[in-house]
């Protein structure tokens, strides 16, 4: 199918036209495109444009080589980045600091709990002693339970007083 308007290439010939422009086509394809160009004004116009674009772009110059010093700049940047980067052990060190901080907090909480328990200890001992003494009168021994919290202390106190009342 030929293009209706001059300068517009047939889509199925665009690859061939680009190859034609850069040269290096085999004889069979060169003959095919030459035959088509004879009949197609659109492709002829597009090829003229493409050829003119080569002249236009020839004005520009390729990027120059950055010079022999450039690899030294790259290596300096690599060394600087390497110096800034954390070591292999850095994550482990920061993790161990986190562990240490958590352990210290746990220890502080336990210590605070122990201190509070020590404050409550005299009343508990008194309850246990009272309980142990009353049982001893009947020649029985009883396991002295240590209360885990304030509620258990209150329950033990109330149980002990109820037992004493029943007797």
Partner 1 sequence: MPVPLSRTAIGDAERELVRLAQGGSEPAFETLVRRHQQRVFALVNGILRRREDAEDVVQQVFLKVYISLKRFDQRAAFSTWLYKITVNECWDYLRKKKVRPLVYEADLSEEQVSRLDGAISAERPPQGPSEQAEIRELLDRMLEKLPEEDQQLLVLKEIEGFSVEELAQILDINVNTVKVRLFRARARIMDVYRRRLGSSHRAGPRPAPGERKA
Binding positions for partner 1, rule: CB under 8 A: 3, 5, 7-11, 14-15, 17-19, 21-22, 46, 49-50, 52-66, 68, 70-75, 77-78, 81
Query: Considering beta carbons, is residue 59 or 148 the nearer one to partner 1?
Result: 59
Which residues fall within 8 angstroms of residue 147, CB to CB, at 6 or more apart?
A: 124, 153, 155, 156
Query: Considering beta carbons, is residue 70 or 107 the nearer one to partner 1?
Result: 70
Query: Considering beta carbons, is residue 54 or 101 the nearer one to partner 1?
Result: 54
Which residues fall within 8 angstroms of residue 36, CB to CB, at 6 or more apart?
A: 10, 13, 16, 43
Cα–Cα distances (Å) from 23 to 11, 28, 29, 33, in that order, read 19, 13, 11, 12
Closest residue by Cα to residue 153 from 123, 129, 130: 123
Minimum Å gap between C-beta 63 and partner 1 is 4
Query: Considering beta carbons, is residue 65 or 165 the nearer one to partner 1?
Result: 65
Q: Which residue has the tokens 């850095």?
A: 90
Return the CA Rg of the chain. 48
Minimum Å gap between C-beta 68 and partner 1 is 7
Minimum Å gap between C-beta 71 and partner 1 is 4
Query: Considering beta carbons, is residue 7 or 160 the nearer one to partner 1?
Result: 7
Closest residue by Cα to residue 37 from 47, 27, 29: 47
Number of continuous H segments (helices) and E segments (strands) in the chain: 6, 0
Minimum Å gap between C-beta 109 and partner 1 is 44
Minimum Å gap between C-beta 53 and partner 1 is 4
Q: How far from chain centre, in Å, is Cα 36? A: 58
């Amino acid at each position: 199918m030929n293009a209706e308007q001059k300068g517009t290439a047939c889509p199925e010939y665009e690859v061939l036209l680009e190859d034609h422009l850069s040269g290096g086509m085999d004889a069979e394809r060169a003959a095919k495109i030459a035959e088509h160009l004879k009949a197609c004004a659109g492709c002829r116009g597009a090829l003229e444009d493409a050829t003119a674009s080569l002249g236009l772009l020839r004005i520009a110059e390729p990027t120059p080589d950055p010079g022999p010093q450039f690899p030294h700049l790259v290596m300096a940047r690599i060394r600087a980045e390497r110096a800034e980067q954390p070591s292999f052990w850095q994550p482990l060190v920061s993790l161990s600091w986190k562990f240490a901080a958590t352990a210290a907090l746990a220890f502080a909480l336990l210590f605070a709990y122990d201190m509070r328990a020590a404050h409550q200890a005299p009343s508990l001992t008194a309850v246990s002693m009272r309980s142990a003494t009353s049982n001893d009168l009947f020649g029985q021994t009883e396991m002295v339970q240590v209360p885990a919290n304030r509620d258990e202390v209150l329950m033990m106190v109330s149980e002990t007083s109820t037992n004493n009342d029943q007797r």
